[in-house]
């Protein structure tokens, strides 16, 4: 995995952009701690920071190549899991390779097939190719959006990078956020292509962006399609198993130490068990040090992960490490600052999961460079409660923002009512929902219940999962750890997306299809375990630190978030004037205010409201 950056300036000489290209590349040091490289031509410059995973001795980037008189330069981030097959195909076309890495395969694939190379790739990736003959830049992002890629069109070209910070290294670009951008921050709705900062855009999953002298062109090379599912249940179960086993096998290819992230749930256990079939596997789990003695069961987390993790590790013979966190670490200012710098946005939702993931990945990186995760299985196979909640299914909005689920993603309670009215969050959410529903592919003759479940599946696979993939990418790459996601393999996604809901829930439980496909690999306790979310601290001291932080904001008249707050409500939430307001405040409200304040200050954001 790596960090990529670049600039195109048709009207600016190379010597005038060299310092900018260096500054942009330096922002990606965490994503690529092993090596760096710069390339500059008459109209474009590319930068690269490398995390060496395949062929560490070679594969330096940006990489150049020529074929039949045509030259191109690439800066690439990610992994291509079918690069060996493509390499053989390209060799048959006369290409001669200098390295054993997948980057050269992608570059030579471009020289052979042009932008059509994207459709041939199996993997997670974001890359840019500068075509020296056409004088055009091609930006490509993988089908599910596992790897990020941002760009800012300018009057004479474009700036691009793996993260917003790379683009914003150009101080000539204004750091402004309008009402639409603030809505993206305040609501649990991620709009594909939107990037909060005015002027900044994100390459959508499955999209190509071409930048030339005539401007910017965009084309979708992959999208979910509705297809008739002809297989019976036994065949479907077998196909899911075959596809998952193949993608896990492909994703085990690495020239550096590799492991798996294990929670003891169905998804990560399946990945770990399949990985163990190929040889010894290292696995890693996370929990809080006091969980064994102080854990209290609630409606969300009924039990701790540890017993299931240990049983699965014994079952498959994994070399397992338990990473135990102390709750005070989550509020360490250095950790909070590192999380903010990694996200370039307020880590508003998921609360303490951001710092705990960062700390977990930092510990995992001590032992391995690559880890496989069970992320995206819930979105693909229907693991969340809202897939089975009739009220959520009938609601004309995103199902995770309906009663029963929305409380886990809320956080606007402390803001001024007139501000929220002006932003019209409800209207923003309704518009984004209507856009998403309009995209859903239609299967002729599909009965209404199946049609609605197709819509819900689409919303999860194109909106909700993006928030999780972003979180995992930023927290892992902040410490130079590459996390792979087998459940995002596009072949598996296409197949399961078109499997009728009756098959996905045939045993009356969540993720029926996945459970049946991997049951023989797992202990019975793991197979039967009810879905449990990622661990969260139950230490009351953590919330006390948040309240103290809010009190500090109230005491600082120059705090940038202060004008946005309902000060009476904020004082009550901070533990002041408690008698004046009786309503409780959850962590989400506190996290959002503190995160937004730090972001506005550190990134010098101007709000255009």
Taking each continuous run of H as one helix and of E as one strand, the counts in the chain are 25, 19
Determine the Cα–Cα distance for residues 515 and 385; give it in Å rounded to an integer: 16
Can you read off the two tokens belonging to residue 192?
């594909």
Residues 6+ apart with CB under 8 A from 63: 73, 74, 75, 76, 103, 104, 107
Determine the Cα–Cα distance for residues 382 and 597; give it in Å rounded to an integer: 36
Encode burial over 299-334: b for 16+ CB neighbours within 10 A, e otherwise: eebeebbbebbbbbbebbebebbbbebebebbbeee
Determine the Cα–Cα distance for residues 195 and 208; give it in Å rounded to an integer: 17
Residues 6+ apart with CB under 8 A from 444: none
Hey, which residues does 135 pair with through a beta bridge? none
Please give the torsion angle defined by the CA atoms of residues 122, 127, 128 and 133, in that order, rounded to the nearest 10 degrees: -30
Determine the Cα–Cα distance for residues 32 and 49; give it in Å rounded to an integer: 4
User: What φ, ψ does residue 211 adopt, rounded to 5°?
Assistant: -115, 120
Exactly one of 2, 101, 183, 488 is catalytic; name it.
2
User: What φ, ψ does residue 176 adopt, rounded to 5°?
Assistant: -110, 145
The single-letter DSSP state of residue 460 is I
How many C-beta atoms lie closer than 10 Å to residue 425's C-beta?
Answer: 19
- Opening angle at CA 279, ends 274 and 282, nearest 5: 80
Determine the Cα–Cα distance for residues 607 and 198; give it in Å rounded to an integer: 10
Alpha helices for 365-424 (secondary structure H): 377-381, 390-394, 417-423
Can you read off the two tokens belonging to residue 511?
């993720």
| Residue whose pair of structure tokens reads 């979708």 in the numeric block | 220
Alpha helices for 57-156 (secondary structure H): 83-92, 102-113
List Cα–Cα distances, 371 to 147, 162, 461, 473, in angstroms: 15, 20, 22, 12
- Closest-CA residue to 22 (of 41, 51, 48): 48
Residue 210 belongs to what H/E stretch?
A: strand 207-212
Determine the Cα–Cα distance for residues 599 and 165; give it in Å rounded to an integer: 12
Alpha helices for 461-508 (secondary structure H): 465-477, 490-497, 501-504
SS3 state at 397: coil
Whether 183 is catalytic: no
- Closest-CA residue to 365 (of 522, 280, 476): 476
- Catalytic site residues? 2
């Amino acid at each position: 995995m790596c960090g990529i950056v670049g600039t195109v300036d048709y009207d600016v000489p190379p010597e005038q952009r060299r310092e900018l290209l260096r500054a942009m590349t330096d922002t990606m040091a965490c994503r690529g701690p092993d090596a760096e490289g710069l390339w500059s031509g008459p109209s474009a410059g590319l930068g690269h920071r490398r995390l060496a995973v395949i062929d560490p001795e070679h594969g330096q980037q940006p990489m150049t190549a020529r074929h039949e008189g045509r030259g191109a330069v690439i800066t690439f981030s990610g992994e291509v899991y079918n690069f060996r097959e493509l390499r053989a195909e390209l060799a048959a076309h006369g290409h001669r390779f200098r390295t054993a890495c997948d980057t050269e395969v992608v570059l030579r694939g471009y020289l052979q097939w042009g932008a059509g190379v994207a459709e041939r790739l199996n993997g997670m990736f974001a890359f840019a190719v500068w075509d020296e003959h056409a004088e055009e830049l091609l930006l490509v992002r993988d089908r599910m959006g596992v790897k990020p890629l941002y760009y800012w069109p300018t009057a004479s070209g474009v700036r691009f990078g793996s993260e917003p910070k790379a683009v914003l290294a150009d101080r000539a670009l204004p750091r402004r956020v309008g009402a639409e951008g603030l809505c993206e921050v305040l609501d649990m709705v991620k709009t594909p292509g939107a990037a909060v900062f005015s002027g900044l855009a994100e390459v959508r999953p499955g999209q190509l962006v071409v930048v030339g002298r005539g401007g910017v062109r965009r084309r979708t090379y992959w999208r979910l399609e509705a297809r008739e599912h002809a297989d019976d249940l036994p065949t479907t179960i077998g196909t899911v198993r075959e596809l998952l086993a193949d993608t896990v096998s492909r994703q085990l290819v690495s020239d550096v130490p590799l492991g798996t992230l294990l929670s003891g749930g169905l998804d990560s256990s399946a990945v770990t068990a399949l990985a163990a079939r190929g040889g010894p596997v290292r696995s890693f789990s996370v929990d809080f040090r006091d969980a064994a003695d102080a854990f209290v069961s609630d409606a969300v987390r009924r039990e701790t992960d540890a017993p299931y993790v240990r049983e699965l590790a014994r079952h498959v013979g994994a070399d397992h490490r338990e990473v135990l966190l102390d709750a005070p670490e989550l509020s360490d200012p250095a950790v909070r600052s590192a999380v903010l710098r990694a996200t370039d946005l307020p880590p508003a939702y998921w609360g303490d999961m951001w710092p705990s993931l960062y700390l977990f990945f930092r510990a995992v990186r001590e032992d391995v460079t690559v880890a496989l995760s069970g992320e995206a299985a819930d979105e693909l196979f229907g693991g969340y409660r809202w897939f089975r909640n009739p009220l959520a299914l009938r609601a004309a909005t995103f199902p995770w923002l309906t009663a029963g689920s929305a409380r886990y993603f809320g956080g606007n309670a402390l803001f001024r009512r007139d501000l929220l009215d002006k932003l019209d969050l409800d209207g923003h959410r309704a518009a984004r929902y209507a856009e998403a529903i309009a995209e859903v592919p239609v299967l002729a003759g599909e009965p209404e219940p199946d049609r609605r479940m197709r819509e819900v599946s689409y919303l999860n696979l194109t909106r909700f999962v993006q928030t999780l993939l972003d979180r995992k990418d930023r927290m892992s790459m902040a410490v130079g750890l590459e996390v792979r996601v087998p459940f995002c393999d596009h072949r598996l996604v296409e197949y399961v997306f078109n499997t009728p809901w009756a098959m996905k829930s045939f045993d009356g439980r969540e993720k029926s299809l996945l459970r049946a496909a991997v049951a023989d690999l797992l202990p019975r306790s793991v197979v039967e375990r009810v879905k449990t979310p990622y661990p969260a601290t139950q230490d009351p001291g953590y919330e006390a630190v948040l309240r103290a932080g809010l009190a500090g904001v109230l005491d600082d008249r120059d705090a940038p978030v202060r004008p946005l707050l309902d000060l009476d409500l904020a004082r009550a939430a901070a533990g002041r004037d408690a008698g004046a307001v009786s309503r409780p405040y959850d962590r989400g409200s506190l996290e959002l205010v503190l995160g937004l304040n730090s972001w506005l200050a550190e990134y010098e954001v101007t709000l255009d409201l």
